[in-house]
Amino acid sequence: MNILIDINHPAQFHLFKHSAFLLEKEGHQVIFTVLEKEMTGPLFRDSGLDYRLFGKSERNHVLRVAANIRRSFQIYKYVRTRSIDIILSNASINAAHLSKVLRIPNISITDTERATLHRKAIGAKADCVLTPACFRKIVGKKQFSYQGLHELAYLSPKYFKPDADKVNALKLKPSEKYALLRFVSWNAFHDRGRSGLNPEQKIDLMKLLKNKGYSLLLSSEDPLPESQKKNGVLIPADSFHDALNQASVVITEGATVASEAAVLGCPVIYFSNLEVCTIDLLKSKQLMIQCRDYPALRTILADENSPKLDKTAWRKRSAEFVNSSSDLSELIVWFVHNYPGSIHSLEQNRKIQDRFRAGRTGV
């Protein structure tokens, strides 16, 4: 079977990479069509996966629409030259349109509730949609839920093993406390009208954490000014999860990194006023703290020995959550390998997903 996976964000590389390797192991051919955004290019270059770059991410919304139309046409011309059996994506509009035009089955995976028009377009065009069980919206008639989160497709104990060489390259020491700060660019469609920490607050936060004895690990979608960059170590893209795993506390403006930290068992503070189903799930499991304003964030950080930020307790709760969740990578492989029979199987028995557990090896 020839499978095309459309990628529009670096996080989607991680979401699908293990499924791709498993599908290739079963004899399927997998090709990625990739939008170049942040570190997607370097991630794919070092992966060994078959991919093609189509377009670059644009910050301006008008330019982005034009670039997206151009990218759709480029992918359309490419796919017409190949015999594709299934198109898989993380709620890609390009993939949904392409599937309809070329009459290729489209399996879409999403955990984003906020983008209403986007969600409705996917629901109308995708042949089926997979969503986490905490998802509160209806996407389409063929919508199936699974226990857990996207992030477990690559950060469950089955897949994620900290790389000692990468940790050593960053000169991280077990005896030191690390605070990882992740800043986002706020130019995604679902981020319109929202903002995060301002430059003065970022500087103040860095000073506060350093005064509390933390060494800083920094990650940002936009280039950091020297006034901020000089306060910590910038994390290379291919070392991000290894650094994240070492953090004593994580403060992030992005929901994906917040969820990643939570499933790794790192105390995490999500700085945002956005209500998200996955964030609400993790808060209910005591795996995340959400702050909606900077004074509240400062209050939480006032005492680094606060039980709220106890990494040992956090890791224990995280392990319990992971063990009760589905292995999304294995579920995707089963769904694609058995398609379209997998739709009928799930309609008859929604508990099939219980065969695929994130916290143990094997099916």
pLDDT category of residue 353 using cuts at 50, 70 and 90:
confident
Is 202 exposed, middle or buried (CB count within 10 Å of its CB: 0-12, 13-18, 19+)?
buried
pLDDT category of residue 188 using cuts at 50, 70 and 90:
low
Strands 106-109, 233-234: pairing is: unpaired
Q: What is the pLDDT of residue 253?
A: 96
Provide the residue ranges of all domains of the chain, joining segments of one domain with +: 2-156+326-355, 164-323
Residue 85 CA to residue 28 CA, distance in Å, equals 10
**CB-based contact 317:285 (threshold 8 Å):** yes
**CB-based contact 21:5 (threshold 8 Å):** no
pLDDT category of residue 187 using cuts at 50, 70 and 90:
low
Q: For residue range 15-26, what is the model confidence (pLDDT) as tens digits?
A: 999 999 999 999
Percent with pLDDT over 90 in the chain: 68
Q: What is the pLDDT of residue 362?
A: 38
Q: For residue range 238-289, what is the model confidence (pLDDT) as tens digits?
A: 899 999 999 999 999 999 999 999 999 999 999 999 888 999 999 999 999 9
- What is 121-133 written as a DSSP string? HHHHH-SEEEEET
Q: What is the pLDDT of residue 192?
A: 53
Residue 266 CA to residue 354 CA, distance in Å, equals 26
Look at 38 and 263; give whichever has higher pLDDT. Answer: 263
Q: What is the pLDDT of residue 248?
A: 95
Q: What is the pLDDT of residue 93?
A: 87
C-alpha torsion angle, residues 328, 334, 335, 337 (rounded to 10): 140
Percent with pLDDT over 70 in the chain: 94
pLDDT at 308 over 90: no
Handedness of CA 195, 200, 201, 202 (dihedral sign): positive
The closest of 25, 140, 34, 15 to 78, measured between CA atoms, is 34
Q: Do domains 2-156+326-355 and 164-323 have the same CATH topology?
A: yes
Q: For residue range 114-134, what is the model confidence (pLDDT) as tens digits?
A: 766 667 778 778 899 999 999
**Side by side, which strands form the sheet with 268-271?**
233-234, 214-220, 177-183, 249-252, 268-271, 289-291
Q: What is the pLDDT of residue 278?
A: 96
Average pLDDT on 139-154 reads: 91
Query: What mean pLDDT is reported for the chain?
Result: 90
- What is 138-179 written as a DSSP string? ---TTEEEESS-TTHHHHSTTT----HHHHHHTT--TTSEEE
Which CATH superfamily does the domain covering 164-323 fall into? Glycogen Phosphorylase B; (3.40.50.2000)
Q: What is the pLDDT of residue 361?
A: 44
* Alpha-carbon 170 to chain mean position: 23
pLDDT category of residue 206 using cuts at 50, 70 and 90:
very high
Q: For residue range 47-65, what is the model confidence (pLDDT) as tens digits?
A: 999 999 998 888 777 788 8
SS3 (DSSP) at 293: coil
Mutual angle of helices 10-25 and 328-337, in 10-degree steps: 50
**CB-based contact 28:3 (threshold 8 Å):** yes
Phi, psi of 169, rounded to the nearest 5 degrees: -65, -30
Average pLDDT on 324-348 reads: 94
- How far the first Cα of the chain sits from its last, in Å, is 22
The yes or no reply on domain 2-156+326-355 and CATH 3.40.50.2000 is yes
C-alpha distance from residue 70 to each of 6, 67, 186 (Å): 15, 5, 23
pLDDT at 193 over 60: no
List residues bridging with 216 in a β-sheet: 179
pLDDT at 363 over 50: no
